[in-house]
Amino acid sequence: MHDRIDYSALLRTMEGTKLAPWLTLLPEQIEAGLCPNRFGDLPDWLQALERLPEVETDQVNLSTAVELMSSSALPAETTRQIHDALAALIPWRKGPFHIHGTDIDTEWRSDWKWDRVLPHLAPLKNRTILDVGCGNGYHCWRMLGEGARQVIGIDPSPRFVVQFHMLKHFIGNVPVDLLPVGIEAVPANLQAFDTTFSMGVLYHRRSPMDHLRELKATLRPGGQLVLETLVIDGKLGEVLVPEDRYAKMNNVWFLPSCETLISWLRKCGYKNPRLVDLNKTSTDEQRSTEWMQFHSLPEFLDPEDSNLTAEGHPAPLRAVMVAEAP
């Protein structure tokens, strides 16, 4: 294992807890998720992580943003090294991050999503949290900022895992980890988490019911699911399954109406599923930046009508639902 991506403290804290059943599988899953033979660019990303200098990070704000600073001024050369190592991991999709003078203006304003979600949650203080499909872990940091006891993010994309560790390098040993695995890697019926997040994942799943059931099995009885996904305007029973692409994405499966999604949650055994936020994604929230230079939402919409995607589907509308495990 790379010395700046070290899960040994996490593995130790899992011993003797409800997470212990995962310990028999996890070391191998981690190794497979960070296997240089599978991910050809990984060695370059790890070298960039290695190039980050050691600097004192004594001012950390995770409650209103993700901001890491030092109370003493850093030499210009150090600031430049930090900037250049972070830039080697472009594209940065989720953020923004402020790291020792480098402002990473990401494709997404993930802080805006957090502002819409947070007011509706059971308080995160002292909770053990799973964030499924957490990207580079932006929201995981914000969960720690709310006083979570432990946060485990999972995402199978190693670029995001390295981006996460670029922050962890500075923040140090805190109970937030991002594992290089997908939801499939979580053992069935763990029932270990107080809150499980699935944000921006359901519409990528070919079998949404299975996803909802897998999420429920991660929660302890009474634990809270936070589900954020693309929906359509429509009645109970209505669902869009785009045959081809949706907003230029080729891995989009089910976009239910809110009523339909609530009935799916009920069918899967959740208690009291409810819609807490509905938001049409704006081109201020998702757009190309210096840190993500590929096309983004403005190019994914119909140039004549921003209510439609480039393919003529309804433009992205996102719902946040919360529900409890029985």
Ligand X SMILES: Nc1ncnc2c1ncn2[C@@H]1O[C@H](C[S@+](CC[C@H]([NH3+])C(=O)[O-])CC(=O)[O-])[C@@H](O)[C@H]1O
Residue 255 C-beta: closest distance to ligand X, Å: 12
Query: According to the annotation, is 133 in a ligand binding site?
Result: yes
Nearest residue (CB) to ligand X, 21 versus 156:
156
Q: Which residues contact 277 (CB under 8 A, 6 or more apart)?
A: 116, 117, 120, 319, 320
Nearest residue (CB) to ligand X, 55 versus 144:
144
Nearest residue (CB) to ligand X, 199 versus 262:
199
Query: According to the annotation, is 321 in a ligand binding site?
Result: no
Nearest residue (CB) to ligand X, 135 versus 223:
135
Residue 263 C-beta: closest distance to ligand X, Å: 23
Residue 201 C-beta: closest distance to ligand X, Å: 5
Query: According to the annotation, is 284 in a ligand binding site?
Result: no
Query: According to the annotation, is 175 in a ligand binding site?
Result: no
Residue 318 C-beta: closest distance to ligand X, Å: 9
Query: According to the annotation, is 18 in a ligand binding site?
Result: no
Query: According to the annotation, is 14 in a ligand binding site?
Result: no
Binding site for ligand X (CB under 6 A): 94, 110, 113, 132-135, 154-157, 160, 182-184, 199-201, 204
Nearest residue (CB) to ligand X, 184 versus 243:
184
Nearest residue (CB) to ligand X, 109 versus 169:
109
Query: According to the annotation, is 249 in a ligand binding site?
Result: no
Residue 197 C-beta: closest distance to ligand X, Å: 7
Residue 94 C-beta: closest distance to ligand X, Å: 5
CA dist 204 and 156 (Å) reads 13
* Residues tagged in the binding site annotation for carboxy-S-adenosyl-L-methionine: 94, 108, 113, 133, 155-157, 183-184, 199, 203, 318
